Every structure is written in structure tokens, then in C-alpha cells.
Amino acid sequence: MGLTDGAARAALKAMFDAAVAAADPRVVLPGMLAGIERPRGRTVVVGAGKSAALMAAVLEEAWGAPLEGVVVTRDGHSVPTRRITVLEARHPVPDARSEAAARAVLAAVAGLTADDLVLALISGGGSALMSLPAPGLTAEHKQAVNRALLASGATIGEMNAVRKHLSAIKGGRLAAAAHPARVVTLAISDVPGDDPAVIASGPTVPDPTTFAEARAIVAKYGIALPGPVAAHLAAGSEETPKPGDPRLSRAEFRMIATPMMALEAAAAAARAQGLAALILGDALEGESAVMGTVMAGIAQACSTHGTPAKPPCVLLSGGETTVTIGAATPGRGGRNTAFLAGLALALKGAPGIWAIAGDTDGIDGTEDAAGAIVAPDTLARARAAGLDAAALAAGFDSYSLFAALGDLVVTGPTLTNVNDIRAILVAPR
């Protein structure tokens, strides 16, 4: 199977598009509603995340009964709704609107009865978008901690363990506030392992983490905390609801889209183009550039030895890598372009290997691109353009590298989020 550069790029983009489409709420949400019994009382919709507004709009059309409520999504991710109020807030660092949205969500579930139903629409990004500080803390305190966490190299699970213990709504507190109403959470997973307690910091599920664990994570990464935050974690009062808490006895959790579903859709798109598809995992974590180096080695093994897959093949993976910035002054870039820069540098122009990596929400970190594409001639084109790819990668400026080469993948907000999708295409030698 001979592949031109254009054909390889088109094949990779088709895989990425298929992965995103598999997590589209318009496709996956209506079928999940059939098994939910309509209540004798009110149906109150609440939610948070990059997909919350689209999920709310789909729910309005498909529910077939009266409902009301409020959801919060990221700036620019709103869609029209008729009965459910849609708020916008900042991501990934919360702002004053994040706090106002959290208060609005808590107000919506206040005073409910056992005859009422709460439908919670949860997706990635909800942790920052619905941010209510615990008593004694301020939004500024949480913003400072979030910035430190994002730059620390902590995993998403570790970050959320800390966030939950600084919050008045996360870690099961939202479901506890809705008691005694029935709570059904419909979630799109953006976290490795699809742990409900980690998605958006688990506002409707029991929290297995503790104040002690939050303190240990802060110490592990050497994060300097504002005085009130340190005091709050040290005091450890008002622990989050734990498994078995009676206030969460009527809470259910249903996953409507996951990274593995997206990867399976990408694999089907690959096979439709005559490519063998190998899914390496949906929960890969680690430093982005290092992961790029590791994946380059696997791709080269396929090319040279036909293992773990024989070309023409595609290596697929999902999960969320991290970029540890430390004290450096970063340029522009996200974890996907950082991964691809590391991959390209490790491949050193190896023939017949292309790759795409992107965030399924359409936003790599804080940039306007979902990710980028690497080709066999990426480094050669960079040199011809007077660019030092290694220096740009070391300076956390991978976005600038791929922007200069015209290799960014720009989708705009997709209104869903099942984490990152990476595909490496290996053609026969």
C-alpha cells in the first residue's frame, strides 16, 4: 500500500473526525434517556462542562416532558436552549462567573423532594467551570492553586483530588445538596480510566479521596499554597461525602461517551481505509515529550520489524499526557503539540511515518487548535524555514513550530470531550 503525503494526512484526519463524532451528544445522548423513568414531580437539569450546553439542547428535544434548570459551559461553547438556562465561564482557570454558576446550580437543586428528578449533565472542564470555594476560601485562592496545579505536572486525578477538598460543590456535594431527590448523572468521560469520581471532580458521586491525600499531592509537587488554603487543608474539616453516605443513596451514574468508544470509532475508520488498527490504550499518561519519544520507538519497530503491528497500520492511543513547565517561561503550546514535537524529534525524519494528535474538544490546552500533524519531512521543512524544532520544543513553544509549518489541526470547539486522540500511521517500507 503506497501512501502519498496527502493520502496519509487525509486518513489521519478521518480517524480523528470519527473519534470526535463517536462522542457527539446528538448521537449518543437520546438513546440513553429511554431507560430513565419520568418523575411524579419536577425534572431539574443541572450540568457543567464543555459539552453541557449541547447536552442540554439535545435533552430538551428528546426528553418529551417538562423540565427546567441551569448548566454552565466554557466561553464560546454555548448553544440555544428554550427551557434550560445556559451560563458561560472561564476555563481552565475559574473566574467569578464560575462561582456564580456553581451557586446557580446549587440553588436549582435546593428544596427538592423524593418525587423530583435531577438530571446532571457532566463533561470535561466542569471542574473549573463550576467552582465554588469552600467556606473561608476565595475565588482568587482557587485560581492560584489551579494555576500551580496546571504547571506542576500533576495528573488530572491528582489535580481533582485537591480541587474537591477546596470546593463546596465537588466530590459528591452537589448530589448531597439535591437529597432526597433522585439524581441521574449522564456523563462524557475525559479522564484516564473513566473514573466517575474524577470527571469534573465528581460533583454527583462519592469521593474516595481525603484531605490527607490532597495534602500529600501538594507536597509531592512542591506547590506553594496561599495561607488560607494551607490552613483549610490542614484542618481537614467537613470531609467530602464518602461511599455509603445516605445522601447519595438515590444517585445513579451513566456513561454516554468514553475515550475507548472514540478510539474504537477511529479504528473502524482506519480499517475502512485498508489499515490494520492497534489500540494501545485509552488511559496513557506521562510527560508529553517523553510519550512522543516512546511512541516513536514503537512506530519504528512496526516499520522495521512488523511488530507490534505489521504495516500498513495505525497505532491508536488515548488519555491525557502532561506538560511540566516549572520555572521556565513557556511559549505557546499544549500537550498534543508537545507530544508531536517529541515524536518528530525522536523519529528524525524516518520515512513512511505520519501522526496526528489532538484534543477531542478542539482546544489543545488554551490554544485555538486541537492539535497538529507530523509527517516524515516535518524536521526538514522546519530547517528550511529557519526553525530550530528542538529549541522550540524545549521552550514549550510547539504550537509555534506547527503553526509555522501549516500543520495545525483546527476544528473549533467540538462541544464534546473524550480527551486526547493520537494516531500514528506506519506505511510499508
- Residue found under cell 445522548: 29
Instruction: Judge if 224 and 282 occupy the same domain.
Output: no
CATH code, domain with 125: 3.40.50.10180
246-261 pLDDT, tens digit each: 999 999 999 999 999 9
Tell me: do 217 and 275 sit in the same domain: no
How far, rounded to the nearest angstrom, does the alpha carbon of residue 197 sit from its chain's CA centroid? 14
Residues 293 and 380 in one domain: yes
Residue where a domain terminates, one of 228, 257, 286: 257
Q: How confident is the model at residue 150 (pLDDT cuts 50, 70, 90)?
A: confident
Q: For residue 221, what is its C-alpha cell?
A: 509537587
Q: What is the pTM of this model?
A: 0.90
The pLDDT of residue 2 is above 70: no
Q: How many independent structural domains does the chain possess? A: 2
Among 226, 257, 288, the domain-final residue is 257
pLDDT one-digit tens code per residue, 294-350: 999 999 999 999 999 999 999 999 998 988 886 666 789 899 999 999 999 999 999
- Indicate the helix (H) or strand (E) that contains 354: strand 353-359
Q: What is the pLDDT of residue 330?
A: 76
Is 344 in the same domain as 417? Answer: yes
* Domain stops at, among 257, 273, 289: 257
* Same structural domain, 250 and 299: no
Task: Assess whether 274 and 354 both reside in one domain.
Answer: yes
Considering the domain architecture, whether residues 368 and 412 belong to the same structural domain is answered as: yes
221 and 269 both lie in a single domain: no
User: Are residues 125 and 235 part of one domain?
Assistant: yes
pLDDT of residue 329: 67
Residues 284, 240 share a domain: no
* In a shared domain, residues 110 and 231: yes
Burial 280-303 (b: 16+ CB within 10 A, else e): bebbbebbbbebbebbbebbbebb
Does 126 lie in the same domain as 16? no
CA distance 355 to 357: 7
**C-alpha cell belonging to residue 330:** 513557556
Residue 366 maps to which CATH number? 3.40.1480.10
Domain boundaries, position 191: 25-257
